Structure 1
Amino acid sequence: MTAQLPEATGSFGEKPTLTFPDAAAPAELEVLVLSRGDGDLVEAGDDLVVHYLGQTWAGHVFDNSYDRGSSINFPIGVGSVIAGWDEGLVGQQIGSRVLLSIPSHLGYGDRGVPAAGIKGGDTLVFVVDIVGVG
């Protein structure tokens, strides 16, 4: 059985809104390609350029790049970001919009990020638009 995942509104480059199912968060990493791009595949070690929205499962939006009006970039697949991003974004095509449901053991674990309102054990959901590689 496939895990129930949130639905995301909007298309690539637009700030999404997530609607959560009345279900428990998946226990493992879930990766859903909402729209597939036609660019090269993201490889470990690439300097990835993305727009994203992050929200706790059935909770609040804790960060998004759309409101700031600028993408972010970071090395992917080399431990510079949470494991759920490294595992879920390597191998995706540039130009894709990807939904990631990231359990806490691949996110911020038992510590959470109190300053962002992320509690220990929280499942994180991201919509990531893969803009390109630097």
Structure 2
Amino acid sequence: KKSLISRGPEAEKRLLSDLERFKTGGLADHLIETESGLKLFFHKKTDAYKPKTGDKVSVNYVGALMSGQVFNNSFESGEPFEFVIGEQRVIEGWEEIFTEISEHSSFTLIVPSEMGYGASGEPGKIPENADLIFYIELEKIN
């Protein structure tokens, strides 16, 4: 728990560094883009099991607006964030991408607003029509 909390600032720094590299074109050769417009860049890619609908996944993540303003850092809680794929508890971009990511992988994900919080945003946290960027570690699949 404590080690997870202590990794929060490092994860945030990595995310903001990737955001800067994305904005300046430095990630262009490394980005993978899905048909729906999600963009991702792997830090660590494994050949382990990929989750499917109904699987519970445990992830650690930092989320930010494209301005660099961080709106969530799950590392700070000391516990991974858990959700079941297909239960629609997370944004559409996450529902889609997690069936393509192997356990123990880490990556940066850019989510267009229509795959995120869309026109409504998340009052007080995420403006309307905001594209989002996440640094994510897929820790475990149950």
**Matched position secondary structure for 1:90:** coil
Q: CA deviation at 1:87?
A: 1.1
1:83 is aligned to 2:79 = no
Q: Offset at 1:80?
A: 2.3
2:104 is aligned, of 81, 87, 95, to 95
Distance of 1:51 and 1:62 partners within structure 2: 14
Residues 1-40 of structure 1: matches in 2 within 5 Å?
Answer: 15-17=11-13, 18-19=16-17, 20=20, 21-22=23-24, 28-40=37-49
How high is the sequence identity, in percent, across the aligned residues?
29
- What residue is the counterpart of 2:138 in the other structure? 130
Partner of 1:68: 77
**Number of aligned residues:** 119
RMSD: 2.2
Unaligned ranges ≥5, structure 1: 1-10
Which protein is richer in helix relative to its size?
Answer: 2
Structure 1 runs (4+) deviating above 6 angstroms are: none
CA distance in 2 between partners of 1:31 and 1:59 (Å): 17
Question: If the length of structure 1 is used for normalisation, what is the TM-score?
Answer: 0.79
Aligned-pair distance for 1:15? 2.1
Given the two structures, how large is their TM-score scaled by the length of structure 2?
0.74
Query: Using the alignment, how far apart are the partners of 1:33 and 1:89 within structure 2?
Result: 13
Shift of 1:59: 2.7
CA contact (8 A) 2:12 2:73 kept: no
Instruction: After TM superposition, give the deviation of residue 42 of structure 1 in Å.
Output: 1.7
